[in-house]
Amino acid sequence: MMAVMATTSARALRLLSTLAGGRVWPAADLAQRLEVSARTLRRDVDTLRGLGYTVQPVKGVGGGYRLVGGARLPPLVLDEEQVVAIAVSLQAAPRVLAGLDGAAASALASVRQVMPERLRLESDALVVTALPNLWEFPADLIDAGVVRAVGAAVRRRHLLRVVVDGGDGGADGAGEAVLLEPYAVVVWAARWYLVAADPAGSSDGRWRVLRLDRLTVRAPTGTPFAPRPLPPGGIATLVQETPDRGDVLASWPCQGSAELAVPAPLAARFAPGGAVVEHVTEGVCRLRMGAWSWTGLAGLYLTFAAELRAVEPDELRAALRGIRERVDRSEAATADDAGRVDDRRGP
């Protein structure tokens, strides 16, 4: 009897692992893959349903099955690659959501507790030490409730009422109140953004990119909206090339600004995280950013290979002059070295 139950359980786990990919499986293909009869397949499907998994029948030629979300959280079944992915991800995940202190560590402990011994040893071998890097420009923590509320509005295609904080440290709720059509949540350069259309912005709806950590979400509207066509380039281009996306200057020992002969969308795409881009004219923008030293900051501006003007402060101007002088001396030294080599070679 125990052997029969073990065999049935093993088959049900194989069935669950197969269905977990999310695709629709024709019943005949599924039975062939699991090497069971159609009748046994139906019994194993019933077994999964009894455990709390929602296995949905799909009508059509021959019929089929697919696994969908259920009303309660059933046991998880993970293979070796999934265990490795979870162990690494939970240890290396950056802390970006407020109110979830220790959640990653406790989640890893919970997963580890139900792992078979072999997989537990595999997981324990993957101890990751994550060190911060200065170039990560850590952003403000995001309220987990904001992420859930915004994500729900995106998924349901419901209008979203928010208050946008300009990032000046004002009191919660003080800012621009808007009603938006939310389309996507995007993570880029270690920052979380909402891509939305603002129906009040223009007759066609003004597309906006807003930092999630600058939003205060009001009560759900429950009001659906009709999706509109995305702008050229889609979501990714919109986020990367929108200068006015709520970014603020990262805290660095040396901070400066300059006007560049570069269009604002182009500068917004390639400026480092923690920089602020402002539109000046069609081909000129103002770029504010910081670095660990004035020479390092000057070098960042030079990477754009564009004319600079209105450079501030004096220390940044001095650093640019210093770089020019060092380049001039290097060129002169290189020319002298080449001359001495020619002299040694003779006529």
Quick: pLDDT tens for 283-323: 999 999 999 999 999 999 999 999 999 999 999 999 999 99
Which residues share a beta bridge with 276? 288
* Residue with the two structure tokens 């009040």: 200
User: Does the structure show a pLDDT above 50 at 4?
Assistant: no
Residue 44, pLDDT > 90, answer no
For residue 171, the model assigns a pLDDT of: 43
Q: Distance between CA 208 and CA 239 in Å, rounded? A: 9
The region of weakest confidence among 46-50, 87-91, 295-299 is 87-91
CA 175 vs. chain centroid, Å, equals 25
Whether residue 153 has pLDDT greater than 90? yes
Q: Supply the pLDDT for residue 3.
A: 39
Higher pLDDT, 204 or 19: 19
Name the phi and psi angles at 281, rounded to 5. Answer: -135, -175
* Average pLDDT over all residues of the chain: 81
Lowest mean pLDDT of 57-66, 109-118, 147-156, 282-291, name the range: 109-118
Residues in contact with 4: Cβ distance below 8 Å, sequence separation at least 6, in sequence order:
none
CB atoms within 10 A of CB 131: 4
Does position 26 have pLDDT exceeding 50, yes or no? yes
Average pLDDT over residues 38-44: 88
- 171-181 mean pLDDT: 76
State the average pLDDT over residues 89-109: 68
Give pLDDT tens digits for 250-261. 888 999 999 999
pLDDT exceeds 50 at position 110:
yes
pLDDT band at 134 (very low <50, low <70, confident <90, very high): low
Mean pLDDT of 256-269: 95
Class of the CATH-defined domain 142-240: mainly beta
Nearest by Cα to 169 from 205, 109, 214: 214
pLDDT at residue 17 is higher than 70:
yes
Average pLDDT of the residues in 2-31: 70
Picking from 146-155, 165-174, 243-252, 292-301, which range would have the lowest pLDDT averaged per residue? 165-174
Tell me phi and psi for residue 54, to 5 degrees.
-95, 100
262-to-52, 119, 147, 281, 285 alpha-carbon distances in Å:
57, 53, 34, 9, 6
**Residue 23 vs residues 12, 30, 66, 80, 85: alpha-carbon distances, Å:** 17, 11, 6, 21, 21
Helix axes 27-34, 38-50, angle to 10 degrees: 90
Task: Measure the CA–CA gap between 313 and 332, rounded to whole angstroms.
Answer: 29
CB 272 within 8 A of CB 291: no
For the chain, the structural domain boundaries read 2-68, 80-131, 142-240, 249-347
Whether residue 49 has pLDDT greater than 50: yes
Is the CATH number of domain 2-68 1.10.10.10? yes
Return the higher-pLDDT residue of 14 and 42.
42
**Bridging pattern class, strands 97-98 and 142-143:** parallel
Tokens encoding 69: 């979300």
